[in-house]
């Protein structure tokens, strides 16, 4: 397999989405869009150790653009070389019915509360709701957007309110304490588009430097 230098996805060189050649070297892409992005500024990609990593607010993070995954990130970081108390990251995105059903298939969590309208209408919620662990996964995604290499050590969660299928959620993570050995305590919560908190808790993370090629 080859790696799409623009987005980091694996590409079958026998059946790529697009191909281009520079200085006798062939580059394979998952799509014409990635090829066009590369051709617009080849040196930007060729000179970087990991050219496919995303930048958010002009700060490099370990995220891949990976196949057009949705979501809007915001970073408020005083010094990307040294995270500190008060630094924040957030991720906003909706969770569709199809994604709820995909999550059920992937995890085998086929609780009828999440998948069957007639059943869910007779529960205390009166409707289908999204899996709490699917919604809390947005916290993990937000934490991974901090500059550096975020390693999730622990997470305490309280499921405050039901999360409706199709709602737009924002996961907010704010560093509240710097611990020893590059560890941080982070206040975390997820709110819906009405600013109602559906999940809240505290995480402990470790921040390593991004790896470098030698």
Q: Residues 158-203: pLDDT tens digits?
A: 999 999 999 999 999 999 999 999 999 999 999 999 999 999 999 9
Average pLDDT over residues 93-105: 97
Q: Write down the pTM of the prediction.
A: 0.85
Least confident of 3-17, 48-62, 90-104, 109-123: 48-62
Q: Pick left, alpha or beta for residue 90 (phi over 0 → left; psi -120 to 50 → alpha; otherwise beta).
A: beta
Residue 38 has pLDDT above 70, yes or no: yes
pLDDT the model gives residue 62: 85
pLDDT the model gives residue 146: 95
Q: Which domains does the chain have, with CATH numbers?
A: 1-52 (2.30.170), 54-208 (3.10.129.10)
Dihedral sign from CA coordinates of 116, 118, 124, 129: positive
For the record, the structure tokens of 30 come out as 């998952």
Assess contact for 154 and 203: CB atoms under 8 A: yes
- pLDDT class of 214 with cuts at 50, 70, 90: very low
Backbone angles phi, psi at 198, to 5 degrees: -105, -25
pLDDT the model gives residue 45: 87
Q: Residues 76-98: pLDDT tens digits?
A: 999 988 999 999 999 999 999 99
Choice between 91 and 47, residue whose per-residue pLDDT is larger: 91
What share of the chain has pLDDT > 90, as a percent? 75
What is the residue-averaged pLDDT of the chain? 93
Average pLDDT over residues 55-64: 84
pLDDT the model gives residue 50: 79
């Amino acid at each position: 397999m080859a790696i799409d230098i623009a987005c980091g996805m694996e590409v079958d060189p026998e059946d790529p989405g697009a191909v281009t050649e520079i200085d006798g070297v062939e580059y394979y892409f998952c799509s014409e869009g990635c090829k066009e992005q590369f051709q617009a500024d080849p040196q930007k990609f060729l000179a970087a150790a990991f050219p496919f990593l995303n930048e958010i607010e002009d700060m490099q993070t370990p995220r891949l653009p990976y196949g057009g995954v949705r979501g809007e990130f915001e970073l408020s970081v005083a010094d990307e070389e040294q995270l500190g108390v008060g630094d924040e990251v957030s991720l906003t995105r909706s969770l569709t019915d199809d994604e709820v059903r995909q999550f059920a298939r992937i995890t085998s969590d086929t609780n009828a509360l999440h998948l069957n309208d007639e059943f869910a209408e007779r529960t205390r919620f009166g409707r289908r709701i999204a899996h709490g662990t699917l919604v809390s996964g947005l916290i993990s995604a937000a934490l991974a957007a901090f500059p550096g290499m975020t390693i999730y050590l622990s997470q305490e969660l309280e499921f405050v309110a039901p999360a409706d299928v199709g709602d737009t959620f924002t996961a907010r993570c704010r560093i509240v304490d710097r611990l020893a050995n590059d560890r941080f305590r982070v206040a975390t919560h997820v709110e819906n588009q009405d600013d109602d908190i559906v999940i809240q808790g505290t995480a402990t993370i470790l921040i390593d430097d991004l790896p470098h090629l030698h």
